[in-house]
Each structure stands twice: as structure tokens, then as C-alpha cells.
Amino acid sequence: MKVLVTGGAGFIGSHVVDRLIAAGHDVAIADNLTTGRRENVNPAARFYAADIRDPGALGRVFEAERPEIVSHQAAQASVNVSMADPPRDAEINVIGSLHVLEACRQHGVRKVVYAGTGGAAVGEPKYIPVDEDHPVDPLSPYGASKHAVEHYCSLYRANWGLDSTVLRYANVYGPRQDPYGEAGVIAIFTARMLGGGEPIVNGSGEQERDYVYVGDVAEANLLALERGGGGMYHLGTGIGTSVNALFEKLAALIGYARPRKHGPALPGEVFKIALSAERARRDLGWRPRVSLDEGLRLTVESLRAASQASSTAGVVRPGRSTRRSPN
């Protein structure tokens, strides 16, 4: 099938692209490279530098590609950025997504697979693991903007027959996650521990998240091309892991011996959450296959290889060490 992946140069989007290509699909990417990177782009995919806030640019991509399916992964994906600048978050995540849906409607796209969020949309859970029937009550503009698009997906389906499947991710981790990014505690801790820096735990460290490996998320995106029409699915392991426990697991893997340091808690964050993926198992035939211990090992290996390669090549990524928050 012809699939257009928005955000296909990003962390999750690039794994989705790789999985679709491995399964034999014909893939194009639209990404403006704000957080995505050219190095992530699979050489078998056609790349378009396009901003989803620009309907003209999107129209040209859709005209050239005529995709049957759009996998919409592009977003402003940071809770912190959304807290600092809610309108900017909404411009990308709501208005940008609407331009994507409009382009789909105008160009006869059959289906959209939308990357939603479980943790940030649900708010502080009333029960754990959280299933799809749990009420939604976002604590951050990011959670609200990502959730708003779920409604647009279903009304485009009802009014204009554009099929959609919403995949609500838990906390995704794995190779290619930006260790200097706004989010992604595993990548950030790993890079700091490997680079001789000091990871700072925000707050008590007792906050729990459901960590799901990026390869498993890519697999769900592949399954959703042909299954789960009109549905919304939580993708998680059902297991919460505290930041303190993560720190200890990574320290043991890397051989990092310094004691844990704590900083202030971040606003807008849920305290404890884990997602039930029972519906995804039933309808999509999906379940997470990579355990946290195995996924952490793969992530450490890949970051270690990347940092060795860049130090051999004398590559420094300027201005990257100080500007971000730790998780």
C-alpha cells in the first residue's frame, strides 16, 4: 500500500517507516525536521520537507504521492513545551492535524492512523491499568491538543467516510529517542550516565509510567493499517515502573556508581499510570513483545554505539547539553 507517514524523521515515526518498508509497503514521509533528523530517514522512503501547518505544502505532497493511508505521527511532542506555550502546541497538534485530515479528505485517502497519547490525555487515573473507557481529563495543553484530534478523527469518519484508528501510546522508549530532548527519561538518563554527566530525578522519583518499546509500537502501527477501523487503542504493558527503579536498572546496566540526585517535580505531569492493552490484543492481535530489561539493554547499546561513533568522528552536537530538562 502507499502510505504517507507524517513525522517519519522523528523517533517513533522513523521506526514506523522502517517497519512498513520491511513489510513491503511503499512509504513517503512529510516532516519539517524540527525534532526529526535526516539520519533517521529510511533511504527506501521518499522524503518531503513539509510543515503540517502549511496546507499548500501538504497539498503538493498529497498530489505527488496520492497515499491510500496516512500514518499521522508528526506533533509537538513535549509536555514541557506545551506548558510554556499552549498556543504553539495547539497550532501544531490541533491546526496542523486538521490540515492533515483536510488533505486526506480532499485527496481521497482511505484511512488515517493517528498517534495519540494515553498518559497525557487521561490525567491522574481513577484506576490502573487504564483502559479505553476511562474518563479523559488532561493535565497539560499537550494532553488536551492530542486528545482533541481524536474527536476530529471520529467526526471525519462520520461525516466524510475517512476511516481512522487511534493508537494511544504509553511512554515509548528505544533507539533514536533524542537524549537531549524535552522528554524521554530513559534516553536522557542513559546519555548522562554514559557521558559522565549526572541524571537528575524530578521530584521523589516514585512517579510511575508504563514504558513500551518503540519496536512494539511500530508493529501496532503496521497492524492498524488494516485492522481496528473506527477504534481507539491503548498501547502499553500494563506495568508501571518508577523513575527510581529505572535509574537503578540503567545504573546497573551501564556501571554508573554515583548516588541518585533529585530536583523539583515538574508541573503538568501525572503521578502514576499504566495502560491496559487488552482491546489492542483482541482487535489488532497486538501485544508488547520486548520486556523492559531487554528494551533497556537495546537502548543502552544503541546510545553507546552512537556516542562512540560521534566521538571517533569528532562530532559535537552544539548547545545540546544544557538547554533541556531531565525527564
CB 314, min distance to ligand NAD, A: 25
Should residue 34 be labelled a site residue for ligand NAD when binding is judged by CB under 6 A? yes
Closest CA to 75 of 55, 59, 98: 98
CB 196, min distance to ligand NAD, A: 25
Should residue 11 be labelled a site residue for ligand NAD when binding is judged by CB under 6 A? yes
Q: Which candidate in 48, 114, 127, 142 is catalytic?
A: 142
The Cα 262–Cα 183 span in angstroms is 17
The smaller minimum CB distance to ligand NAD, of residues 236 and 256, is found at 236
Query: What does each C-alpha distance from 106 to 4, 47, 54, 68, 100 come to in angstroms?
Result: 15, 21, 15, 12, 10
Should residue 51 be labelled a site residue for ligand NAD when binding is judged by CB under 6 A? yes
Should residue 74 be labelled a site residue for ligand NAD when binding is judged by CB under 6 A? yes
Q: Taking the CB of residue 213, how many other CB atoms lie within 10 A of it?
A: 24
The smaller minimum CB distance to ligand NAD, of residues 246 and 256, is found at 246
Out of 3, 18, 27, 31, which residue is the one contacting ligand NAD (CB under 6 A)?
31
The Cα 320–Cα 35 span in angstroms is 13
- Of the listed pieces 7-15, 131-139, 224-232, 245-253, which binds ligand NAD according to CB under 6 A? 7-15
Should residue 77 be labelled a site residue for ligand NAD when binding is judged by CB under 6 A? yes
Q: Which residues face 118 on adjacent strands?
A: none
DSSP letter string, 100-150:
HHHHHHHTT--EEEEEEESHHHH-S-SSSSB-TTSPP--SSHHHHHHHHHH
Should residue 32 be labelled a site residue for ligand NAD when binding is judged by CB under 6 A? yes
Closest CA to 137 of 121, 160, 158: 121
The Cα 299–Cα 118 span in angstroms is 22
CB 283, min distance to ligand NAD, A: 19
Q: Which of residues 132-161 bind ligand NAD (CB under 6 A)?
A: 146
The Cα 225–Cα 41 span in angstroms is 20
The Cα 232–Cα 79 span in angstroms is 22
142 is catalytic: yes
Should residue 52 be labelled a site residue for ligand NAD when binding is judged by CB under 6 A? yes
Should residue 53 be labelled a site residue for ligand NAD when binding is judged by CB under 6 A? yes
Q: Which of residues 85-124 bind ligand NAD (CB under 6 A)?
A: 92, 96, 115, 117
Q: Which of residues 169-198 bind ligand NAD (CB under 6 A)?
A: 169, 171-172
Catalytic residues: 142
Contacts with ligand NAD by CB under 6 A lie at 7, 9-13, 31-36, 51-53, 73-77, 92, 96, 115, 117, 146, 169, 171-172
